[in-house]
Amino acid sequence: MGEETYAGVYISPDSVIEEGARIFPPAHVINSRICAGAQILPFSYVENSRVGENSRVISSTVTNSVICSDCTVGPYAYLRQNAYVGEGCRIGDFVEIKNSTLGKGCRAAHLSYIGDATLGERVNVGCGAVFCNYDGFKKHSTVVGDGVFIGANSNLIAPLTIGGGAFIAAGTTVSSDLKEGDFCIGRQRERILPEEGAKRYENSGAKP
């Protein structure tokens, strides 16, 4: 097809839009394949990528990546540099995926970074989870098995291997490999000082 612009939708001549796909303005599709039944919703940018059958991209940027069928991406997600999102995945708002593969049925609902990682099937990536792939000199990889639960505000420091079915509690920093079915919790226990908060406000002159 030739270059086309329809009321805010730009489609480059090297793109393929399959029958039944829908693109809503404003949106850009450049050198990409949008498969049958897929939807590219407003304020999305797709370049050098493939969006699979019946998947939805909502107000997100997708470059040099693959989204398989029956996925939801966005709003405000960023997939780049060889991100591969398997069938039936849910990628939510403010999630960035770079040079990583997510297996079937993975979920990263919001506010996470997944970089240089390979995730098995049905992995849950909690809010605020970060795959720490860079040590200041080199990039390192993380491998996560099937059915792993990664709690909110967890840090996975690569290189790292997480066995299938492992559970990482919220607020944990993981720097050692976990075996299949392991439970990992690495947070400092809270200390409660009765009425100390009120005293601190009183001494500072500030109001709580």
Q: What is the pLDDT of residues 112-130, one digit of tens each?
A: 999 999 999 999 999 999 9
Measured CA to CA, the distance from residue 71 to residue 78 in angstroms comes to 14
Q: What global pTM score does this model have? A: 0.90
What pLDDT does 37 receive?
98
Q: Which of 74, 41, 69, 75 has the alpha carbon at shortest distance from 55?
A: 69
Residues 6+ apart with CB under 8 A from 129: 108, 112, 113, 150, 151, 152, 153, 154, 155, 156
Fold of 4-204: UDP N-Acetylglucosamine Acyltransferase; domain 1 (2.160.10)
Q: What is the pLDDT of residue 92?
A: 98
Give the pLDDT confidence score for residue 193 in this predicted structure. Answer: 81
Q: What is the pLDDT of residue 184?
A: 97
| Catalytic residue flag (residue 28) | no
* Active-site residue, from 104, 107, 110, 140: 110
- Identify the pLDDT of residue 5: 59
**CA-based angle 153:85:131, to the nearest 5?**
30
Low-confidence ranges of the chain (pLDDT < 50): 1
Sequence spans of domains, the chain: 4-204
Which strand ranges, in their side-by-side order, compose the sheet holding 117-119? Answer: 16-17, 33-34, 50-51, 66-67, 84-85, 101-102, 117-119, 142-144, 160-162
Q: Around 57, how many Cα atoms within 13 Å sit in the side-chain half-sphere? A: 38
Q: What is the pLDDT of residue 188?
A: 78
pLDDT for res 208: 54
